Amino acid sequence: MFQTKVSEKYEIFAMANLASKTTGVIGAVIWVSAGEFEGKKSVHSARVKVVEGNSMTTKGLADAAVVTIAATPELKHGRLKKKTMSLVTAFIILNKAVLLAYWKGKIDTSELMLKLKSIEK
């Protein structure tokens, strides 16, 4: 967990960072949020953030690409290399039910980690 500033108020939220060895998405870190910020009304759908490279720090999240968790994942914000987007899409499709359960708060981070499948396997 880390803290971030939202609307002049600090909110805490859960976010899991997933390295290539977990996802099979070589060259990118996928950040999965457990829903929206508390009290924030969202116009966004369930999504992941993707940072190209291997850095798992929160610093890169400001410029992260946003990809929807859907049957046909879409790049909603930012840029990704074509190959990275293809791998992220495959990962989301393979893990859609688990990612949505985490987003909706139906499972916790421990369960998320146990249920995720790598696209390499």
Confirm whether 30 is domain-assigned: yes
For the chain, the DSSP string reads: -EEEEETTEEEEE-EEEE-HHHH--TTEEEEEESSSPTT------SEEEEEESS--SGGGGGG-EEEE-SSS--EEES---HHHHHHHHHHHHHHHHHHHHHHTTSS-HHHHHHH---TT-
- Residue 120 inside a domain? The answer is no
As given in the structure block, the two tokens for residue 58 are: 């929160």
Tell whether 121 is covered by a domain: no
Range of the domain at 54: 2-115
In this model, does residue 6 exceed pLDDT 50? no
| Position 38 in a domain | yes
Give the total number of structural domains in the chain: 1
Full-model pTM: 0.82
Give pLDDT tens digits for 88-105.
999 999 999 999 999 998
User: 82: pLDDT confidence band, cut at 50, 70 and 90?
Assistant: very high
Of the CA atoms within 13 Å of residue 79, those in its CB half-sphere come to 1
pLDDT score for 35: 75
